[in-house]
Amino acid sequence: MIFGDFFKSLAQLSDRRFRLVLWKGVGLSFLLLFGIYVVFVTGINWFIPESVTLPWVGNITVLKSIFSWASILLMILLSMFLMIPVASAFTGFFLDEVAEAVEDKHYPQLPPAPKMPFGDTVVDTVNFLGLIVGLNIVGLVVFPFFGPLAPIMFLGLNGFLLGREYFQMAAMRRLGRVQGRALMSKNRGEIWIAGALMALPLLIPFVNLFVPVLAAATFTHMFQRLRP
């Protein structure tokens, strides 16, 4: 059943609405990282002098150039470590469009789902981002001590987090927060396994950018299968 939900979502990745959500998330992430870079470079131009005179050394004129090259390295590092969580956060604002695309194609008999308040979406997305980044930072410190079990622990942790977040998102659209959480509690094991399946692509560069869209679609199918 879980694999059926996953492969139906995979087959719909060519859907224009799926691609739009993906490019919105990635595009906004690049804009944010570029904005950080521009602020850093502007700060260099404002606060770093053209030259500095030091005792016993003399006049140093390369200080600004050094910081300029450092800003490029900063941009590369930001892209490596922040691109995935930031893209996931931005994509989270548009996941309702993915769920609508799934329902339009596979469940056309459903009435339109009520729109989630934007403020609730922001709070839920920021909370999820903080939780997944924070726990994975802890995991980077702790997991290596468990040797060959580290990948399993990574999948277990992120499977729990992804399953919890995306199933809750799918259920809340139709049942509301209280009933959605109740349904999640009844099916916690299956949701965790599905979340671990979603966590596997997190280990593959660039492919991991598709995880939020694919997870939103997969858990929409799962919710429709498990709903009362």
CB 167 within 8 A of CB 174: no
Work out the angle between the directed axes of helices 16-47 and 95-106 (0-180°, nearest 10). Answer: 170
Give the residue extent of every domain in the chain. 2-226
Average pLDDT over residues 90-100: 82
Q: In percent, how much of the chain has pLDDT > 90?
A: 18
And the tokens for 72?
Answer: 């490029």
Decide if 115 contacts 172 (C-beta within 8 A): no
Which H helix or E strand runs over 54?
A: strand 52-54
The whole-angstrom separation of Cα 76 and Cα 98 is: 30
For the stretch 39-74, pLDDT in tens is: 777 766 666 655 555 555 445 555 556 666 666 776
Angle at which helices 188-199 and 150-186 cross, to 10°: 140
Alpha helices in 61-117 (DSSP H): 63-92, 95-106
The model's pLDDT over 176-195, given as tens digits with 9 standing for 90+, comes to 888 989 999 999 999 999 99
**Chain center to CA of 73:** 23
The answer to whether 94 touches 21, Cβ cutoff 8 Å, is yes
